[in-house]
C-alpha cells in the first residue's frame, strides 16, 4: 500500500509530505517531479502567487546517494516563499460562499474565518503532484502511463478523436493543457477576469496499460472505481467524477462487446472506462471530473459578516481566475497514487525486483484469457 501524509499551510514555512510504501529500488527522477510541479504552477488564469513561488521537491529521507528509493518512507518538503500572508495577518469575518471559511470555522470555532483556507488552499496540491509524480514514475516501470488534458473551460470544450501519446504530448505544451480550442478557452478566462468573476470546467485523466485485476469487488472499500472517485472528488474544487461514459442509457449500446480476433481477445468499445466489478479490466481507465469555479470572486458574492450579522458581500483576497488546468494535473496525479498503491497491494514485495517478478508471473499465468 502506498500512502501520502501531508502537513503544511499555504503561507506557513512550507509543505511537507511523507510518502510511505514506495518499494526499494525505484530511481526517483527529481527533474521529472520538478517538471510536474512547474506544470501545476503554469496556466493562463493563475494568480499572482504563481509568480512568487518556484516549487521544487526536496527529498530528505528514503533515498540513497543515487536518488534510488530504499524502501523507507520518502520524506520531502516544498518551500513556501510567501510566508507573510499567514492567517493571523489575513483576517476576515465574512465567509466566501463555496470556500471552507464558513463550515471550517464553525467546526473548529475559529473567529478569523481565513483560518480554514490556510490548509484547504490549492497550494497544498503541490504535495499531491510531487507524490503523484513519484507514483507515476513507479507505474512507468510496469509500462503504465498516466495522461491528462483539460476538456472544457466554461462553455468551450475540445475533444481529440485520437487519444494517442502524441496528442497528450501536445497538451503538455499548451498554456492551459488543452487538446484544442486554446484561443477560445483563453477568451473564456479573459472574460471572467474582465467581469471580475472566476470560471470552472472539466478535466480528463487516462491511465493506460494497467493490468486487469487491480482493485476488488469483495469489499466496497477496495473497489478501484470508488478509490479513484474519492481521490479525485476530494481535490478542492472538484464536484463530480465519472468513469467511462455516463450518458448512454441503452444496455445494448453501453456495454463493451468482446471479440476474438486473430487469436486475441478484444473489446470493441470502452464505455466502462476500464473498470468492471470494481476491478481494472485491462482497458484504459478513463476519468472525467468537473471543477467548479473557485469561490474567491473579485466582485463578491452576497454573504454575512459573522461578527455583527450584517448583510454584505464576500471579501476578495489574492487568488486565481481559473484552476482547471492545475486541477486536471492534480487529479491525474492522485489517480497515479491510487493505482501505484493497488499495484503494490496486488504484487507485494519490498523491492522493485520482487514486484516485477510477481507482476510478470501474473501476466504470464493469465495470458490464456487473451490469447488462443
Ligand atoms: C494556490 C495558492 C494560493 C491561491 C490559490 C492557489 O495562494 P495565495 O492564497 O497566497 O494567493 O493563489 O488558492 C486558492 C485558489 C484557494 O482558494 O485557496 C496554489 O498554489 O495553487
Domains recognised in the chain with CATH numbers: 3-369 (3.60.150.10)
C-alpha 211 – ligand 1 centre gap (Å): 37
pTM, whole model, 2 decimals? 0.97
C-alpha 260 – ligand 1 centre gap (Å): 51
For residue 49 and ligand 1, the question of a CB distance below 6 A is answered with: yes
Kindly give the number of the ligand 1 atom that is closest to the alpha carbon of 296.
Answer: 17
Q: Which of 40, 51, 319, 333 to mutate to test the pocket of ligand 1 (most atoms within 8 A of CB)?
A: 319
Q: How confident is the model at residue 86 (pLDDT cuts 50, 70, 90)?
A: low
Measured between alpha carbons, how far is residue 280 from residues 134, 216, 273, 332 in Å?
Answer: 21, 9, 9, 17
Rounded to an integer, what distance in angstroms lies between the CA atom of residue 228 and that of residue 247?
19
Average pLDDT rounded to a whole number, residues 227-254: 97
For residue 266 and ligand 1, the question of a CB distance below 6 A is answered with: no
Q: For the chain, give the percent of residues with pLDDT over 70.
A: 99
Rounded to an integer, what distance in angstroms lies between the CA atom of residue 364 and that of residue 254?
31
* pLDDT at position 349: 83
Q: How confident is the model at residue 230 (pLDDT cuts 50, 70, 90)?
A: very high
C-alpha 347 – ligand 1 centre gap (Å): 38
Supply the Cα-derived Rg of the chain in whole angstroms.
22
For residue 47 and ligand 1, the question of a CB distance below 6 A is answered with: yes
Kindly give the number of the ligand 1 atom that is closest to the alpha carbon of 85.
Answer: 10
3-state secondary structure of 359: helix
Q: Which of 8, 53, 78, 121 to mutate to test the pocket of ligand 1 (most atoms within 8 A of CB)?
A: 121
For residue 98 and ligand 1, the question of a CB distance below 6 A is answered with: no
The residue assigned the cell 476519468 is 287
For residue 121 and ligand 1, the question of a CB distance below 6 A is answered with: yes
* pLDDT at position 166: 92
For residue 296 and ligand 1, the question of a CB distance below 6 A is answered with: yes
* Residue having the nearest C-alpha atom to atom 18 of ligand 1: 121
For residue 123 and ligand 1, the question of a CB distance below 6 A is answered with: yes
* pLDDT at position 90: 81
C-alpha 129 – ligand 1 centre gap (Å): 15
For residue 85 and ligand 1, the question of a CB distance below 6 A is answered with: yes
- Greatest distance between any 2 Cα atoms in the chain: 75
For residue 69 and ligand 1, the question of a CB distance below 6 A is answered with: no
C-alpha 215 – ligand 1 centre gap (Å): 34
Separation of CA 208 from chain center: 16
* pLDDT at position 344: 97
Query: pLDDT of 24-58, one tens digit each?
Result: 999 999 999 999 999 999 988 898 889 888 999 99
The answer on pLDDT for 287 being more than 70 is yes
Partners of 6 in beta bridges: 17
Q: How confident is the model at residue 359 (pLDDT cuts 50, 70, 90)?
A: very high
* Sequence-separated (6 or more) residues with CB below 8 Å from residue 263: 371, 372
* Residue having the nearest C-alpha atom to atom 3 of ligand 1: 123
The answer on pLDDT for 211 being more than 70 is yes
What is the pairing mode between strands 275-276 and 285-291? unpaired
C-alpha 319 – ligand 1 centre gap (Å): 5
* pLDDT at position 160: 84
* pLDDT at position 334: 98
Measured between alpha carbons, how far is residue 191 from residues 75, 186, 369 in Å?
Answer: 42, 9, 53
What DSSP assignment string belongs to 290-330?
EEPPPS--TT--EEEETTTTEEEEPPP-S--S--HHHHHHH
* pLDDT at position 161: 82
Of the candidate ranges 161-170, 183-192, 339-348, the one whose mean pLDDT is the lowest? 161-170
Between 349 and 295, residue with greater pLDDT: 295
Rounded to an integer, what distance in angstroms lies between the CA atom of residue 200 and that of residue 292?
5
* Contact predicate 283/274, CB 8 Å: yes
Rounded to an integer, what distance in angstroms lies between the CA atom of residue 332 and that of residue 204?
8
Kindly give the number of the ligand 1 atom that is closest to the alpha carbon of 125.
Answer: 21
Average pLDDT rounded to a whole number, residues 173-202: 96
Q: Which of 50, 98, 123, 128 to mutate to test the pocket of ligand 1 (most atoms within 8 A of CB)?
A: 123
Alpha helices in the chain (DSSP H): 30-41, 49-52, 101-108, 115-120, 125-140, 165-173, 182-194, 224-233, 251-254, 324-347, 352-366
The answer on pLDDT for 153 being more than 70 is yes
Triad 192, 151, 289: Cα angle to 5°: 95
Q: How confident is the model at residue 88 (pLDDT cuts 50, 70, 90)?
A: low
Mean pLDDT of the chain: 96
Amino acid at each position: 500500500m502506498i500512502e501520502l501524509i501531508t502537513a503544511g499551510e499555504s503561507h506557513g514555512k512550507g509543505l511537507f509530505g511523507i510518502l510511505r510504501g514506495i518499494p526499494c529500488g525505484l530511481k526517483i527522477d527529481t527533474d521529472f517531479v520538478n517538471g510536474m510541479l512547474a506544470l501545476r504552477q503554469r496556466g493562463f488564469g493563475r494568480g499572482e502567487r504563481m509568480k512568487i513561488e518556484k516549487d521544487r521537491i526536496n527529498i530528505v529521507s528514503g533515498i540513497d546517494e543515487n536518488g534510488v528509493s530504499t524502501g523507507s518512507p520518502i520524506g520531502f518538503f516544498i518551500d513556501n516563499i510567501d510566508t507573510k500572508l499567514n492567517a493571523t495577518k489575513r483576517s476576515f469575518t465574512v465567509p466566501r460562499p463555496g470556500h471552507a471559511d464558513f463550515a471550517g470555522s464553525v467546526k473548529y470555532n475559529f473567529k478569523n474565518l481565513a483560518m480554514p483556507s490556510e490548509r484547504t488552499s490549492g497550494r497544498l496540491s503541490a504535495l499531491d503532484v510531487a507524490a503523484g509524480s513519484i507514483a507515476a514514475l513507479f507505474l512507468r516501470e510496469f509500462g503504465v502511463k498516466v495522461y491528462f488534458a483539460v476538456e472544457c473551460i466554461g462553455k468551450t470544450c475540445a475533444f481529440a478523436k485520437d487519444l494517442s501519446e502524441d496528442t497528450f504530448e501536445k497538451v503538455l505544451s499548451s498554456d492551459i493543457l488543452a487538446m484544442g480550442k486554446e484561443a477560445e478557452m483563453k477568451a473564456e478566462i479573459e472574460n471572467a477576469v474582465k467581469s471580475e468573476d472566476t470560471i470552472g470546467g472539466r478535466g480528463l485523466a487516462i491511465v493506460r496499460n494497467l493490468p486487469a485485476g487491480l482493485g476488488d469487488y469483495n469489499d466496497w472499500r477496495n473497489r478501484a472505481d470508488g478509490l479513484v472517485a474519492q481521490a479525485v472528488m476530494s481535490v478542492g474544487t472538484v464536484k463530480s467524477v465519472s468513469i467511462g461514459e455516463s450518458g448512454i442509457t441503452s444496455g445494448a449500446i453501453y456495454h463493451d462487446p468482446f471479440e476474438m480476433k486473430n487469436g486475441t481477445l478484444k473489446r470493441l468499445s470502452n464505455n466502462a472506462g476500464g473498470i468492471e466489478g470494481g476491478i481494472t479490466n485491462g482497458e484504459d481507465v478513463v476519468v472525467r471530473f468537473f471543477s467548479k469555479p473557485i469561490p474567491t470572486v473579485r466582485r463578491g458574492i452576497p454573504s454575512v459578516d459573522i461578527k455583527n450579522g450584517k448583510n454584505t458581500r464576500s471579501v476578495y483576497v489574492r487568488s486565481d481566475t481559473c484552476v482547471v488546468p492545475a486541477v486536471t494535473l492534480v487529479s491525474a496525479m492522485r489517480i497515479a497514487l491510487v493505482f501505484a498503491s493497488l499495484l503494490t497491494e496486488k504484487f507485494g514485495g519490498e523491492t522493485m525486483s520482487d514486484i516485477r517478478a510477481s507482476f510478470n508471473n501474473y501476466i504470464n499465468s493469465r495470458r490464456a484469457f487473451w490469447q488462443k
